[in-house]
Amino acid sequence: MSEKRRMIVHVDMDHFFTAVEEREHPEFKGKPVVAGADPKAGKGRGVVSTCNYEARKFGVRSGMPISKAWQLCPEAVYLPVNYELYARVSNEIMGILRGYSDKFEQWGIDEAFLDITSRVKEYAEAEALARQMKNEIHAKQKLTCSTGVGPNKIIAKVASDFQKPDGLTIVKEEEAEKFLAPLSVRKLPWIGRKTEQKLDALGIKTIGELARYDPTVLTEHFGAMGAQMYLMAHGIDRSEVEERGGIKSLSRELTFEVDTGDFGLVLNNLDRLSEQVHEDVLRHGLFFKTVTVKVRYENFETHTHGKTMPFITNRLQDLKKTAKELTQAYLRPERKIRLIGVRVSSFTSAEKQKTLA
């Protein structure tokens, strides 16, 4: 017997942080808006978290140094990031979406997967349900999202990105390979800038080219990830929509006002970041296993290094000690530091921890 055909929806809020800001401040409507570090008239450090579509027309992008954004678009409205507000709105949106499926998976702050297989019989019904979700979010939250429907999570996610903002894209199983083929490999989840460059060196730019490539050569170059990429390029993905308790990692980072070679200062600030992350861990009732640090040198060369502990913990001293150990390797007399960050992940909730103890 063949497996039952699945119907998966992926929802991604449009320019989420700045969309919430626009909603709260109607006077920003129509203007370019950037959320992120303080630009300080072009002298600011740190990066853009996100920006609205008006600002994107000027070339501003997530992750770009805020000084670059200022050069491109000094007339934009620049706002600090108000995580608490966005997290509250995110929870409300996730609450609405949860009502549309029995299998739900939040992905980051503004995305979610829903398995609606048990609720619809055909794509036309799936489309109607996806439209209903968009309408309810818009009616209750005054925010738009882009939505994709497909036979698995990968296709649904690529589909939601296909028409933005306020899009709705349906990709049927039999059309999936053709839909994916002309798109850049970067559109596939987990293919970042570095993998894109490596694929480019093999002459692979589009998903179609990836699908036609020899999978054994891909495995030689990329290990297990190579086989995974090959399957994705053919539109194959068997992973289930699974509730993961929402948060996958908690992190804080700091860009120094001036690049620094003062390692006492670096380590003091590292402790401070660990304390802030730890407060978040306790607030969410979580236990973690993995600690990752990030160090960016003055030339923007960035390193991240993580360690998974053999035990689950929520103790500040474990976090501080591990973060310090990991960072120490990057403290070199000749290299000034621009940014440091601390992240924890591999969570179990306190509830579950109790039953495991």
Residues in touch with ligand TTP (CB under 6 A)? 12-17, 49-50, 62-63, 109-110, 164-165
Q: How far is it, in rounded angstroms, from Cα 161 to Cα 110?
A: 13
In 3D space, the residue among 12, 14, 18, 49 whose CA is nearest the CA of residue 31 turns out to be 18
Q: How many residues bind Mg ion (CB under 5 A)?
A: 4
Which among Mg ion, ligand TTP, none contacts residue 49 (Cβ within 5 to 8 A by kind)?
ligand TTP
Q: Of 96 and 120, which has the nearer Cβ to Mg ion?
A: 96
Residues 85-124 close enough to bind Mg ion by CB under 5 A: 110
Q: How far is it, in rounded angstroms, from Cα 172 to Cα 150?
A: 6
Q: How far is it, in rounded angstroms, from Cα 147 to Cα 14?
A: 10
Residues 16-45 close enough to bind Mg ion by CB under 5 A: 16
Q: Of 50 and 101, which has the nearer Cβ to ligand TTP?
A: 50
Q: Of 91 and 118, which has the nearer Cβ to ligand TTP?
A: 91
285 in Cβ contact with 351 (< 8 Å): yes
Burial of 243 (0-12, 13-18, 19+ CB in 10 A): exposed
Which residues, at least 6 apart from 196, have a Cβ–Cβ distance to it below 8 Å? 184, 185, 186
Residue type at 236 in one-letter notation? I
59 in Cβ contact with 72 (< 8 Å): yes
Which among ligand TTP, Mg ion, none contacts residue 271 (Cβ within 5 to 8 A by kind)?
none
To Mg ion, the closest distance from the beta carbon of 310 in angstroms equals: 36
To Mg ion, the closest distance from the beta carbon of 305 in angstroms equals: 28
Q: Of 12 and 21, which has the nearer Cβ to Mg ion?
A: 12
To Mg ion, the closest distance from the beta carbon of 108 in angstroms equals: 8
Which among ligand TTP, Mg ion, none contacts residue 164 (Cβ within 5 to 8 A by kind)?
ligand TTP
Residue type at 43 in one-letter notation? K
To ligand TTP, the closest distance from the beta carbon of 248 in angstroms equals: 13
Which among Mg ion, ligand TTP, none contacts residue 109 (Cβ within 5 to 8 A by kind)?
ligand TTP
239 phi and psi, to 5 degrees? -65, 145
Catalytic site residues?
A: 111
Q: Which residues bind Mg ion (CB under 5 A)?
A: 12-13, 16, 110
